[in-house]
């Protein structure tokens, strides 16, 4: 049986793969939203693991702040900011492919970092 934490982690990785595929296909809006989804799912995994609420957007932001303080690594917050920019791009569709790709690179670093945090 898959735990909620494992399911969120799997979804985070799956969304990241989908984001790259959407970027390659030229759908920058969907690439952006899948990038956001990858980061959000990883935050939900960490929040679930710690018993923190994670059902609202504000919960994710609070969880990232808490994780940043917990691990003493400001890059957690900064990298999540890139995912947040991607979320906004889904609605505005103003980023070019290079910028979406750069932000997706940050999201990949964020996902990797949260996996290490969850594994520790």
Q: pTM of the full predicted structure?
A: 0.96
DSSP assignment string, 8-75: HHHHHHHHHHHHHHHHHHT-HHHHHHHHHHHHHHHHHHHHHHHT---SSHHHHHHHHHHHHHHHT-TH
Q: What is the pLDDT of residue 38?
A: 98
What value does the mean pLDDT take over residues 68-80? 97
Percent of the chain whose predicted confidence (pLDDT) is above 70: 100
Given a contact cutoff of 8 angstroms between Cβ atoms, the answer to whether 15 and 41 are in contact is yes
Q: Residue 52: which H helix or E strand, with range?
A: none
Confidence of residue 85 (pLDDT cuts 50, 70, 90): very high
Per the listing, tokens 């890059």 go with 75
Residue 67 has pLDDT above 90, yes or no: yes
Domains of the chain: 4-119 (1.20.120.330)
Confidence of residue 1 (pLDDT cuts 50, 70, 90): confident
Q: What does the alpha-carbon distance between residue 37 and residue 20 come to, in Å, rounded to a whole number? A: 12
Given a contact cutoff of 8 angstroms between Cβ atoms, the answer to whether 3 and 44 are in contact is no
């Amino acid at each position: 049986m898959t735990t909620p934490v494992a399911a969120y982690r799997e979804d985070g990785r799956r969304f990241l793969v989908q984001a790259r595929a959407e970027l390659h296909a030229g759908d920058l809006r969907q690439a952006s939203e899948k990038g956001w989804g990858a980061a959000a799912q990883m935050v939900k995994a960490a929040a679930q693991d710690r018993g923190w609420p994670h059902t609202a957007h504000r919960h994710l932001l609070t969880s990232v702040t808490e994780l940043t303080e917990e691990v003493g690594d400001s890059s957690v917050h900064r990298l999540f900011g890139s995912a947040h920019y991607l979320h906004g791009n889904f609605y505005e569709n103003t980023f070019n492919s290079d910028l979406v790709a750069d932000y997706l690179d940050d999201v990949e670093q964020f996902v990797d970092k949260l996996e290490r945090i969850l594994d520790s």
